[in-house]
Amino acid sequence: MSQKRIIVENLAKNYKNGRANLVALDNVSFSLNEGEDMAIIGPSGSGKTTLLNLIGGLDRPTKGKVIINNQDITRLKDKELSKFRNQTIGFVFQFFNLQEYLKAYENVMIPMLFAGIKPSKAKEKAEKLIESVGLADRENYYPRQLSGGEMQRIAIARSLANDPKILLADEPTANLDKESAQNVLEIFDRITKDSGVSVIVITHDPNICKKFKNIIHIRDGKISKK
Ligand SMILES: Nc1ncnc2c1ncn2[C@@H]1O[C@H](COP(=O)(O)OP(=O)(O)OP(=O)(O)O)[C@@H](O)[C@H]1O
Ligand SMILES: [Mg+2]
Q: What is the pLDDT of residue 146?
A: 97
Q: What is the pLDDT of residue 3?
A: 84
**Ligand 2 midpoint to CA 24 (Å):** 11
**Ligand 2 midpoint to CA 204 (Å):** 10
What global pTM score does this model have? 0.94
For the cut 70, the answer to whether the pLDDT of residue 1 exceeds it is: no
Question: Which protein residue's CA is at the shortest distance from atom 27 of ligand 1?
Answer: 44
For the cut 90, the answer to whether the pLDDT of residue 12 exceeds it is: yes
3-state helix vs strand vs coil in the chain, percent to 5? 40, 30, 35
Atom of ligand 1 at shortest range from CA of 53:
18
Report angle CA 95, 44, 166 to the nearest 5 degrees.
55
CA distances to 10, 50, 94, 199 from 221, in Å: 12, 9, 21, 21
Atom of ligand 1 at shortest range from CA of 218:
21
Query: Tens digit of pLDDT for each residue in 170-187?
Result: 999 988 888 888 989 999
Spell out which residues line ligand 1, taking CB within 6 angstroms. Answer: 15, 17, 22, 24, 42, 44-50
Q: What is the pLDDT of residue 175?
A: 84
Q: What is the pLDDT of residue 19?
A: 84
Question: Which protein residue's CA is at the shortest distance from atom 19 of ligand 1?
Answer: 45
**Ligand 1 midpoint to CA 87 (Å):** 27
Question: Which protein residue's CA is at the shortest distance from atom 30 of ligand 1?
Answer: 45
Domain ranges in the chain? 34-60+78-224
Q: What is the CA radius of gyration of the chain?
A: 17
- The domain 34-60+78-224 is placed in CATH, from the list 3.40.50.300, 3.30.1490.20, 3.40.50.11260, 3.30.70.260, at 3.40.50.300
Question: Which protein residue's CA is at the shortest distance from atom 25 of ligand 1?
Answer: 44
**Ligand 2 midpoint to CA 213 (Å):** 21
Question: Which protein residue's CA is at the shortest distance from atom 7 of ligand 1?
Answer: 15
Q: What is the pLDDT of residue 110?
A: 97
Confidence of residue 26 (pLDDT cuts 50, 70, 90): very high
Query: Tens digit of pLDDT for each residue in 95-138?
Result: 999 999 999 999 999 999 999 999 999 999 999 999 999 999 99
Query: Tens digit of pLDDT for each residue in 49-80?
Result: 999 999 999 999 999 999 999 999 999 999 99
Q: Which ligand is nearest to the CA of 47?
A: 1
**Ligand 2 midpoint to CA 121 (Å):** 35
Number of Cβ within a 10 Å radius of residue 19 = 5
Q: What is the pLDDT of residue 177?
A: 85
CB 107 within 8 A of CB 158: yes
Mean predicted confidence (pLDDT) in 153-176: 94
Atom of ligand 1 at shortest range from CA of 17:
4
Query: Tens digit of pLDDT for each residue in 199-226?
Result: 999 998 888 998 999 999 999 999 997 6
